[in-house]
C-alpha cells in the first residue's frame, strides 16, 4: 500500500504536500501557477527570464553563494518554466533538506534581481534561443503550437525573442513577481524521510517574506481554432513534420482515455503502433512518436516524425493510416488489457523517481487541489472502455480538424 500524502495550507496561503519515504535522499519543489501563457503581448519571455534571474542574488547571498549553497554538499538546485508553471526544485541528502527548503524560499521571495545580473542574463538567454533555433526537432513542437494557437499567448515560444528580451528590465520583473507570485497560486512539495511535523517546523522558519501577489488573476480564454497546413524549407538534413490537433485540457472527463490512446499510438514503448508499423516495418523514420500535452483548459495532441525528404510523403500517408485505424477499428479485449497494463507499469516506474514525484505531486495539488494514489489512477485506467477510446479517437483525430506543419530539407 502506498504511503499516504499529507496536505495542509500554511498560514502564508501556500499549500503544502508531503510524502514520507524511506530514502537517504530528500526532494522539494515549489510549483508556481505562472508561465509564458500569462504574459501580455509586450512581456514575451518574461516568465522564463524570471526563472533565470531568481538565482542571481538574494537579500542574504550573492549569485555565487546561491549556486554553491547546495552544490557544496553534493545537492542539486534547478528550475524550469512551462506554458503555465514555474518550478523551483532541489535534491539533497536527507540531513540537508532544511538547507534546501531555506534556499528555495529565499530564491522565491527574497531575490534582489540586480540590474547588472539582469543585463548579463539577457545575453545568456539569447544564446539559449540561438541553440534552440539550431534544433529543428525541438523547434517544430513550439512552432506547431504557435500554428494552432495563433494570436494567443499559449502558442508563443517560452524563451521569447531577442527583441522582446531587450524590453525586460528589473522594474518589469518586479511587476511580474508582484502580479503572479501569489501564495494562493503556489504549492510546496516535499518527499523524504521526515514527519509532517518536521516539514511544518522548517517552513514556518523559512517562509518569512512571502509576497501577497494577486490571487484573483484570471487567464485569457482560449481563442477559436482553425486547422492549418504549413510547409517551409529549412537548412536541415532531415525533413521534420507534425500532424495534430487541439485536444483535451486537464479537467476533461476523457483525459485518461486520451492519455491511454496516445500511449498506444506512439508512446515511449518500442511496441507502439507508430514504431512497429512505420519505423520497424518500413525503416522510414528513426524518430517517430505521438505526444499529448494537456493544459488547464485545452491541450495539444500530435504525431512527430523526422525522416528523409524522399520518404516524407509516404511516411505521412502511413501516419494518417494509423490515425484512421484508431478512428474505425475498436480495440479487442486482449489489446485493451495490454494497453492498460503497459501504461500502468510506466506510471508505477515513473513514481519510483522521487525527484519527479515531488514535482508531480506539487503540480497535481496545484491544478486539482487533491492528490491521487496509484490505486486511484489504476481504477480510472481500468474503467476505460474500447468504445470510449474509439469515440475519443474520432474527436481528436478528425481528419477535418488536423493541422500539419512540415520543415522540408532543402
- Residue 209's SS3 state is coil
The arrangement of strands across the sheet holding 229-234 comes to 229-234, 403-409, 239-247, 299-307, 285-294
Rounded average pLDDT over 206-218 = 74
Through-space distance between the first and last CA atoms of the chain, rounded to whole angstroms? 56
Rounded average pLDDT over 24-38 = 97
Q: Where are the domains of the chain?
A: 6-206, 229-409
For residues 325-358, one letter each, b for 16 or more C-beta atoms within 10 angstroms of the residue's C-beta and e for the rest, the string is ebbeeebeeeebeebbebbbeeeeeebeebbebb
pLDDT of residue 215: 64
What percent of the chain shows pLDDT beyond 70?
Answer: 98
pLDDT of residue 3: 61
Say whether pLDDT at 1 is over 50. Answer: no
Question: DSSP string covering 281-334, please?
Answer: HH--EEEEEEEEEE-SS-EEEEEEEEE-TTTHHHHHHHHHHHHHHHHHSPPPHH
Give the lowest-confidence range in 274-283, 298-307, 380-389.
274-283
- Residue 344's SS3 state is helix
Dist. CA 294–CA 367, nearest whole Å: 12
pLDDT of residue 214: 64
Say whether pLDDT at 244 is over 50. Answer: yes
Cell numbers that stand for 395 in this block: 474527436
Cell numbers that stand for 185 in this block: 497560486
At 107-133, the pLDDT tens digits run 999 999 999 999 999 999 999 999 988
pLDDT of residue 73: 97
Average pLDDT of the chain is 94
Q: Would you tell me the crossing angle of helices 136-148 and 115-133 to the nearest 10 degrees?
A: 100
Q: Do domains 6-206 and 229-409 have the same CATH topology?
A: yes
Contact 28, 358 (CB under 8 A): yes
What percent of the chain shows pLDDT beyond 90?
Answer: 90
> Which CATH code, of 4.10.110.10, 3.30.830.10, 2.102.10.10, 3.90.1300.10, is assigned to 229-409?
3.30.830.10
Contact 23, 140 (CB under 8 A): no
Q: What kind of fold does domain 6-206 have according to CATH?
A: Cytochrome Bc1 Complex; Chain A, domain 1 (3.30.830)
Q: What are phi and psi of 81, to 5 degrees?
A: -120, 135
Amino acid at each position: 500500500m502506498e504511503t499516504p500524502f499529507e496536505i495542509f495550507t500554511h498560514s502564508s496561503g501556500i499549500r503544502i504536500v508531503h510524502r514520507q519515504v524511506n530514502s537517504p535522499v530528500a526532494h522539494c519543489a515549489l510549483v508556481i501557477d505562472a508561465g509564458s501563457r500569462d504574459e501580455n503581448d509586450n512581456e514575451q519571455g518574461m516568465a522564463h527570464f524570471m526563472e533565470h534571474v531568481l538565482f542571481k542574488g538574494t537579500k542574504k547571498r550573492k549569485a555565487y553563494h546561491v549556486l554553491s549553497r547546495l552544490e557544496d554538499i553534493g545537492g542539486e538546485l534547478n528550475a524550469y518554466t512551462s506554458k503555465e508553471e514555474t518550478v523551483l526544485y532541489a535534491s539533497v541528502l536527507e540531513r540537508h533538506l532544511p538547507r534546501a527548503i531555506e534556499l528555495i524560499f529565499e530564491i522565491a521571495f527574497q531575490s534582489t534581481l540586480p540590474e547588472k545580473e539582469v543585463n548579463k542574463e539577457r545575453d545568456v538567454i539569447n544564446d539559449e534561443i540561438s541553440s534552440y533555433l539550431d534544433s529543428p526537432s525541438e523547434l517544430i513542437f513550439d512552432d506547431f503550437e504557435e500554428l494552432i494557437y495563433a494570436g494567443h499567448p499559449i502558442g508563443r515560444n517560452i524563451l521569447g525573442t531577442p527583441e522582446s528580451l531587450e524590453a525586460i528590465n528589473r522594474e518589469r520583473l518586479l511587476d511580474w513577481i508582484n502580479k503572479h507570485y501569489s501564495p494562493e497560486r503556489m504549492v510546496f512539495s516535499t518527499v523524504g524521510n521526515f514527519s509532517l511535523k518536521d516539514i511544518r517546523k522548517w517552513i514556518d522558519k523559512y517562509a518569512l517574506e512571502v509576497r501577497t501577489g494577486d490571487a484573483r488573476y484570471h487567464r485569457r480564454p482560449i481563442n477559436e481554432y482553425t486547422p492549418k497546413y504549413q510547409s517551409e524549407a529549412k537548412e536541415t538534413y532531415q525533413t521534420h513534420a507534425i500532424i495534430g490537433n487541439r485536444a483535451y485540457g486537464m479537467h476533461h472527463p476523457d483525459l485518461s482515455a486520451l492519455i491511454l490512446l496516445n500511449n498506444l499510438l506512439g508512446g515511449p514503448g518500442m511496441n507502439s503502433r507508430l514504431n512497429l508499423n512505420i519505423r520497424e516495418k518500413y525503416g522510414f523514420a528513426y524518430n517517430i512518436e505521438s505526444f499529448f500535452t494537456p493544459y488547464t483548459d485545452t491541450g495539444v495532441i500530435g504525431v512527430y516524425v523526422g525522416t528523409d525528404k524522399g520518404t516524407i510523403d509516404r511516411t505521412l500517408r502511413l501516419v494518417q493510416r494509423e490515425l484512421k485505424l484508431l478512428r474505425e477499428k475498436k480495440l479487442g479485449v486482449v489489446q485493451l488489457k495490454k494497453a492498460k497494463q503497459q501504461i500502468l507499469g510506466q506510471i508505477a516506474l515513473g513514481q519510483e523517481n522521487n525527484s519527479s514525484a515531488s514535482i508531480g505531486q506539487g503540480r497535481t495539488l496545484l491544478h486539482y487541489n487533491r492528490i491521487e494514489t496509484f490505486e486511484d489512477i489504476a481504477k480510472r485506467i481500468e474503467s476505460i472502455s474500447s468504445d470510449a477510446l474509439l469515440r475519443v479517437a474520432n474527436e481528436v483525430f478528425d481528419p477535418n480538424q488536423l493541422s500539419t506543419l512540415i520543415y522540408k530539407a532543402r
